[in-house]
Amino acid sequence: MAVRAGRALSFPARIARSDAALPLGLLAPTIVYLTLLILVPVAQAILLSFQAEDGALTLDAYQRMVSEAAFADSLRNTALLLVFIVPIQLVLALAMALLINSRFPGHGIFLYIYAIPLAISDLAAGIVWLSIFTESGYLNTVLTGLGVTKEPIAYLSYENLHLVLMAIVVAESWRATAIVLVILLAGLQLIPRDYFEAAELFGASRWKRTLLVVLPLLRPSLQSALIIRTVFAFQTFAVVLTLAGRQFPVLAYEAYDWYANVFNSHVAAAYAGLILVLTMTVVVFYLRLFRVREGEAAR
Amino acid sequence: MTAVARAAPRRSPSRRVLLDRLLLYGAATFLALWTLVPIYLIAVAAFSERGAVYDYPKELLPTRFSTDTMAFFVGSSGVISSVKNSVIVALGTIVLSLAIGAPAGYALSRFRFPGRDVFQLAVLSSKMFPIAILAIPLAVTFIGLGLYDTLLGVVIVHSAMVLPFVVIVTAGVFASVSRELEEAAQTLGTSRLGAFLRVALPLALPGLAAAAIFAFVTSWNEVFAATILTLRERTLPAHVVASLNQSPLYFKFAGGFFLIIPSLFFIYFMRKYLFNLWGPGK
Amino acid sequence: MTRHGRVLTALVAAGSLVAAACGGGGTGPSAAPPGAVSSEPFVLLSTQFNNVTEREAVQKQILEPFTKAKVDYTGSEIGPFNDRIAAEAKAGKGTVGALLGLHGDFGGLVGPDKDYFEDLTPLANRLKDRGIPAEFLDLGKLGTGKQVYIPSMQATYILGVNKQALQYLPSGANVDDLTYSQLRDWCKNIADKTGKKRCGLPAGPNSLLHRLIQGYLYPAYTGGLVTTYKSADAAKMWADLKDLWQYTNPQSLQIDFMQESLLSGEVWVGFDHVARLVNALQQKPNDFVTAPAPKGPKGLYYMSVLAGYAIPKSSPNRSGAEAFIDYMLTPEIQAKVQNVAAFFPVLDKAMPADLAPHLKALTEGIQKQSKHKDAKVALLPIGLGAKGGDFNKVQRDTFQRIVVKGEDIQKVLNEEGANLQKVMTDSKAPCWRPDPDSGGSPCAVK
């Protein structure tokens, strides 16, 4: 490597003073690509939400969206799902990742098994959990067979909305935990063994080790996983639709329904715009919460 | 463990280890069963006689085994060729999205520059809008570009859909790679690029593997964009999902199961990359 | 160096992927001499026949024998169907040569600023002597001046009944001549005696509940639909429906295809479109019978759902598409379609003798309905254009609010009636049967 003139500055200072050319150069393809393909159509669609049939600017679509009974329900339901699903999946995925990371004999097979739901589309996941939770489904078969319940329970009936919520949370947790798992596992790989061993050395219990040592070091991955999972949670509705039909409205399905069934792309765009704003808000919240600095984890 | 003398465990070490092991395996197995049972149910239903799927109580064992439904489904026109298309598109998506996204992730994790947070949000925001609603403008654009009904068109759109994930995951992983390692490599004589390729990249491999798996699986299962952008050169979901949604339940299971299989192979192939090449932790 | 080698391999792989991916592409417009039929292959985009078995059968038995051009069948759900037609029209060129869809599917694509379809009036005139009922052809205009689609298949809604349910019929009730209150009594009996609610309504998100309300329930109780939307008769109908709902399986709100619930035993008496009942009859022919819809105070109203063929303006092979539509409207092919899917011919010819047993049962149910002494036809909505979706939404919302949520009936009817009026005013659609003729002005809710 050439010795550059003016090498009086130390390495960290030099790198910290990188001009913006390189990072922007690395980022440019991504930005250009996404702008052309996604962001421009998104902007067009948002504009659509502020237009009437003839193109005049109006808030009609938003008014219509807000005045529907399903609107409040879908807001509430989407929030409920987030509140339940995200923490459950984090805990499950973390448990799986820690187990795998301990490299016990056979951990490779277990990792593969845990990763299988990744392969399953949300439609297929919806179908299989429907066959479990439906009145004549597997869960009722097992429970009545074991004598735990006498009559089959209607888990998916609108009369038992709390059971419906439970069914959706279970199905979604099952389906999407693997995504969180592979992210967390990748992050765990980068925590040097020394840290684990040092903690053991000082007699810390396994719980303490996990909470005080691993979690903070895992922050970047936790942040990524949370963000990804939340962004998806705002978008997916296939499992909800299959299990609960329209009795458990969620924002993503309302957007789709207005577009594909009612043929009203203005209100659909209004819902989509709302989803965008809400997701953005939550993600910004996560980013503030986690404030990760580069290389902090491994120092 | 030198701490034994100080911690003075109340049980003998071997029994403690045994208990630990039991707990470990117990937890791991419980989670594995939780994951596997629904897959098992799909498989059983896909390979059962047609009527079996309507029985109550449901059979938990494959007592009414039959390959009829699967055979009919797989043999129906267009399925095999759409599988081929899906594979091409999925692999293409991995290549394109990693090529564009991994450098961006690296940049986000390593450099402080004005507008960094905005960039990150902008990249993420492309995932925050339902893709189904963008179908018409995308289709019109692609018709205009001559990419309509081509697999390349689908690869381009799928890569755009997967790119934010790739960027975020790689950023998260590169952020954990110690900068000092790269700097050390540079002092030892490699260029910046060399330090990236030989130090950062291998360490970040589990993250890249995760991103690759995700890119493959997302592209493989993606329905909306693939449906609107193709007509004859269909991917498997585009070809099959509209049909499955209106078919009887036993076909839904057969189709659902068939959709899973290639992803299962891919994940199997990639799983060892999810671990660091240098063994446990370092 | 291995790493460079790997990078190189990746690049080569990427390159070949790109090469492989640059396949396909749309075909240009046909250039056949006038009068001749171009043999340019084209795509038939269809929202029907999407079932895995039907699709195979249609491809092999119906499309392949059509030798004038190669027709590739592509099934689609309604969302992508609309998107694709709009996109190809906007781009000015396309791969889709012909379309097959329901009346309502096309309805969403016509409008003052949308000119996506060829006018098929010349073709309709050429096919005049096939025997397509004039009323159907009229519906195919969708309220515009031109022939948007040529109707070629029809279907209706009937009751699918598990034989086990017959023993619980109320005394004096004949399953082929039920009133809605007898249906309610029947469902109550079943619920009381078996402990489970086994009646079913197709009220799922992708179901055709709105057609049931538009073509059966409203006319049967009120003699109209739009004009009588918030009348006292309508209130009675909703009250009775609410009553019936007490004895209906709550999972009805997830049912899109009644046949699945019939087969699993979750439903014993279910109302649905014949194409969504047929599989139950096919799988377990000895377990089920069909029956006409119940009748109300004003008669046994039923609705015929039409499906037909259209040609998009961006079609790459117009002459081939026209020849194809001609082919689909021959009696032999109509009979084949009937055998393959549970869609019935529009031609006024007799039913083929060699009908499969499950289709025979279905046909009997349909004929019992149309030949019933009190039977009257309610028409599909005409002229709503892009507002068709909003129109259907009003009925679905009314159902959700009154029956599921239990809101006050007259209050909901007043509010939804206002929404309905807005739809009618915006679409400027005049009344259609069973509403009395409004002489060209937009239909009004009284």
Q: Distance (Å, rounded) from C-alpha B205 to C-alpha B274?
A: 7
* Distance of residue A240 Cα from the nearest chain B Cα, in angstroms: 15
Task: Report helix, strand or coil for B22.
Answer: helix
Q: What is the mean pLDDT of chain A?
A: 83
Q: What are the tokens at A61?
A: 């679509």
Is-contact C191 C198, C-beta < 8 A? Answer: yes
Q: Within an 8 Å CB–CB cutoff, is residue C88 touching chain B?
A: yes
Residues facing residue A92 across a β-bridge: none
Instruction: Please say whether the dihedral angle defined by the alpha carbons of residues B221, B224, B229 and B233, taken in this order, is positive or negative.
Output: positive
Predicted model pTM: 0.84
R_g over Cα of chain B: 24
Contacts of A252 in chain B (CB under 8 A): 130
Q: What DSSP letter does each residue of C204-241 carry, written as one string?
A: STTS-HHHHIIIIIHHHHHS-SSTTTTSHHHHHHHHHH
Per residue in C368-398, pLDDT (tens digit) is: 888 888 888 898 888 887 788 889 999 999 9
Q: Give the per-residue pLDDT at C397.
A: 93
Nearest residue to B214 (alpha-carbon basis) of A252, A31, A185, A109: A185
The DSSP bridge pattern shows strands C300-310 and C375-378 to be parallel
Written as tens digits, the pLDDT of chain B (282 aa) is 444 444 555 555 677 778 878 888 898 999 999 999 999 988 888 898 888 888 877 888 888 888 888 999 988 888 899 999 999 999 999 999 999 999 898 888 888 777 777 888 888 888 899 888 888 888 888 888 888 889 999 999 999 999 998 998 888 888 877 778 888 888 887 787 787 788 888 888 888 888 898 899 899 999 888 988 888 888 998 888 888 888 888 888 898 888 888 888 888 888 878 776 444 443
Is-contact C186 C169, C-beta < 8 A? Answer: yes
Q: Give the per-residue pLDDT at C326.
A: 92
Nearest residue to C415 (alpha-carbon basis) of B148, A69, B261, B270: A69
Task: Indicate yes or no: CB of B249 within 8 angstroms of CB of C260.
Answer: yes
Is-contact B210 B141, C-beta < 8 A? Answer: no
Q: Give the per-residue pLDDT at A11.
A: 53
Task: Report helix, strand or coil for C59.
Answer: helix
Q: How confident is the model at residue A26 (pLDDT cuts 50, 70, 90)?
A: confident
Nearest residue to A272 (alpha-carbon basis) of C429, C354, C245, B131: B131
Contacts of B163 in chain A (CB under 8 A): 30, 33-34
What is the number of CB-based contacts under 8 A between chain A and chain C?
A: 63
Query: Residue B221: is it exposed, middle or buried by C-beta count within 10 angstroms (0-12/13-18/19+)?
Result: buried
The residues, any chain, with a CB within 8 Å of residue C152's CB and separated by 6 or more, are C307, C308, C309, C325, C328, C329, C334, C337, C345, C346
Q: How confident is the model at residue C209 (pLDDT cuts 50, 70, 90)?
A: very high
Task: Indicate yes or no: CB of A186 within 8 angstroms of CB of B264.
Answer: no
Quickly count: other Cβ atoms within 10 Å of residue B80's Cβ. 12
Task: Report helix, strand or coil for C102.
Answer: strand
Whether residue C365 is predicted with pLDDT greater than 80 in this model: the reply is yes
* Distance of residue C397 Cα from the nearest chain A Cα, in angstroms: 9
The mean per-residue pLDDT over the stretch A32-36 comes to 91
Is-contact B92 C21, C-beta < 8 A? Answer: yes
ipTM greater than 0.85: no
8-state DSSP, B146: T
The mean per-residue pLDDT over the stretch A164-185 comes to 91
Nearest residue to C258 (alpha-carbon basis) of C158, C360, C342: C158
Long-range pairs of C404-408 with CB within 8 A, sequence gap ≥ 24 = C404/A158, C404/A247, C404/C245, C404/C253, C405/A69, C406/C242
The mean per-residue pLDDT over the stretch C328-334 comes to 87
Q: Which residue of C has its CA nearest to B134?
A: C83
Picking from C10, C56, C77, the nearest residue to B76 by CB comes out as: C56
Per residue in C338-362, pLDDT (tens digit) is: 888 778 887 766 566 677 888 888 8
Q: How confident is the model at residue C1 (pLDDT cuts 50, 70, 90)?
A: very low
Q: What are the tokens at A111?
A: 């990792």
Is-contact C199 C269, C-beta < 8 A? Answer: yes
Interface of C with B in 251-280 (CB under 8 A): 257, 259-260, 263-265, 279
Picking from C77, C82, C250, the nearest residue to A263 by CB comes out as: C82
H or E segment and range at residue C269: strand C269-273
Q: Within an 8 Å CB–CB cutoff, is residue A96 touching chain B?
A: yes
Contacts of C21 in chain B (CB under 8 A): 88-89, 92, 150-152, 154-155
Is-contact B228 B138, C-beta < 8 A? Answer: yes
The DSSP bridge pattern shows strands C150-162 and C96-102 to be unpaired
Whether residue A186 is predicted with pLDDT greater than 80 in this model: the reply is yes
